[in-house]
Structure 1
Amino acid sequence: MDKGERELTLDSILLGIKPGETALVEYTSVSSPELLFYLMVNGCLKRDIPVIIDDIADTFSEYIKRLKITGLPTEDLLKVSVIKIGGNKDVGKVLGKVEIRRYSLDFSVYKEVYEKVVPKKPVCNPVLGIHKLFASLDFQDAMRLVRNIESFVGTETRFAVYFINRETLEERFPEILGLLEESVTSVFTWELHKEIYKFRIVKSPNLSIVGSEISLSGEDFFKLVKH
């Protein structure tokens, strides 16, 4: 690993995503994606980067519960702006709601809500629980959802980070994950190997960091939180 790679940090990667980009964070069922989400949102708040969370099917509520059990303070997260997509638990500063009808998402309605609440400054837009939506669709509607996600690439009012359970999506639609990976600008993986969390850069427009990996123990994580 060269000097440039050694200097990589989670902050420099996640907060280095440029407006107009769409990234995937592929995690496993046991890798606690809320920890990575926590670091990213806290990093944004410290740097005065506005955040709007897309909360699909109450996933944000699930993240908050698990973070509290881990012992992490969640007060700042609960002040973050949220667009609710399905679900019925209003957690965070809910600015708008989009219903999921017949197991699909009307993106024209979503765009109307988004345009009403998006600030002038580019925002970090974490999208939580998108795999739950895919799991409820047939293949044709899943393909339509991929195209809709791709249509937001280049929207310079935001950089979007989709947190997606890779195992769930691969079980439901093995072909869809590859199509998603092709359509976005960056792909990261977040996995747990024994007691070590591993963040890997699979795809990025910054070719010099592709293939790089950052490893964190639980102790390392709490050091970053306190930093």
Structure 2
Amino acid sequence: MTNNISPLLEEFPKIKPGEIVLIEHTPYSWHHLAFYVLATHLLKLGYPLIIDDLLDTLHLYKTYLNFAGLNTDFLNRSDVYVLKIGGHKEVGNVAATIRLTDEFYVHQENYRTAFDSILKQREFFVNIVLGFDRRIALIQNPYERYLFLLNRAYYLGNKKRVAFYFVNINLLKRFPLVLPFLEEISTTVVRIEKQDKKVALTFLKSPNVSLVGSQFEFSIYEILNYLKGGDLNDEYF
């Protein structure tokens, strides 16, 4: 297992500042484990995190991880900043809270103000976005949905952060043009799929040409044993 996951983990620090990484998954692909591996590995490497928690999605991820027997105390660390957007369940070190509003420009300005205030506190952040797909589903007007998507491109190229978006493709496929647009503005696209009792992770798009088409397969049981064994980060287990 270690030989399989180590080459994958070595690829993520190679992602350049300013990139947007789209992580596509289904409801059944154990994406919460991918979030856990990514977050804890980046913290081990010394990168502070901003977690966009839209509509209580972080609470859902935390619950799944706790059921799997994994320690989620890392969410309370001082170098993990949770940006809470909508919802009612506060999880982790909440640095700012934004109420949902139907007025797009009000929401946009509130988000930029909160995000930029956090961004000023460190030289560089890794931004993990959870629940973006849920927020898209709540926007009924196609034009406002497009504006919301376009706002994501505003941060593309910002050298102070790298962003990882976890999105449920089953949900986004209900809305024409959303998934293709996200894939277009993302510099890297990774898809996670469940195959029986294994998880397959495929790079569909990457600035690193040698990575495009690469696939990594893992047994779900092996992933859990690996994480609980403490090889990734002994501090949390």
The answer to whether the superposition gives a TM-score over 0.5 is yes
Amino acid at match of 1:16: K
Please report how far the alpha carbon of residue 32 of structure 1 lies from its aligned counterpart in structure 2 after TM superposition. 2.0
**Which whole-Å CA distance do the structure 2 matches of 1:23 and 1:146 have between them?**
15
- Secondary structure at the aligned position of 2:96 is classed as strand
- 2:235 is matched with none
Show the 5 A alignment for 1:10-159: 10-79=8-77, 80-102=80-102, 104=104, 106-118=107-119, 119-137=121-139, 138-159=141-162
Task: Give deviations 1:107-130, integer Å, cap 9, x for gaps.
Answer: 221111112112333111100000
- 2:234 is matched with none
**Which whole-Å CA distance do the structure 2 matches of 1:7 and 1:83 have between them?**
29
**Which whole-Å CA distance do the structure 1 matches of 2:21 and 2:132 have between them?**
13
Contact 1:186 1:205 in 2 (8 A): yes
Normalised by the size of structure 2, how large is the TM-score? 0.88
2:203 paired residue among 194, 201, 204: 201
Please report how far the alpha carbon of residue 10 of structure 1 lies from its aligned counterpart in structure 2 after TM superposition. 2.8
- 1:3 is matched with none
Q: Which runs of 4+ in 1 moved over 6 A?
A: none
Contact 1:20 1:157 in 2 (8 A): yes
- Secondary structure at the aligned position of 2:157 is classed as coil
- Secondary structure at the aligned position of 1:9 is classed as helix
Equivalent pairs counted in the alignment come to 221
The CA RMSD over aligned residues, in Å, is: 1.7
Change (3 A) 1:55 1:103: farther
Normalised by the size of structure 1, how large is the TM-score? 0.92
Please report how far the alpha carbon of residue 193 of structure 1 lies from its aligned counterpart in structure 2 after TM superposition. 0.7
**Which whole-Å CA distance do the structure 1 matches of 2:5 and 2:83 have between them?**
35
- 2:212 is matched with 210
Please report how far the alpha carbon of residue 99 of structure 1 lies from its aligned counterpart in structure 2 after TM superposition. 1.6
- Secondary structure at the aligned position of 1:37 is classed as helix
Please report how far the alpha carbon of residue 174 of structure 1 lies from its aligned counterpart in structure 2 after TM superposition. 2.9
- 1:169 is matched with 172
- Secondary structure at the aligned position of 1:190 is classed as strand
Gaps of 5+ in 1: 1-5
**Which whole-Å CA distance do the structure 2 matches of 1:130 and 1:114 have between them?**
15
- 1:186 is matched with 188
Please report how far the alpha carbon of residue 100 of structure 1 lies from its aligned counterpart in structure 2 after TM superposition. 1.2
**Which whole-Å CA distance do the structure 2 matches of 1:127 and 1:51 have between them?**
10
Amino acid at match of 1:150: A
Please report how far the alpha carbon of residue 216 of structure 1 lies from its aligned counterpart in structure 2 after TM superposition. 0.7
Gaps of 5+ in 2: 232-237
Task: Give deviations 1:136-155, integer Å, cap 9, x for gaps.
Answer: 11211111111101111001
Identity %: 32
Task: Give deviations 1:42-78, integer Å, cap 9, x for gaps.
Answer: 1011111101100000100110001000111111123
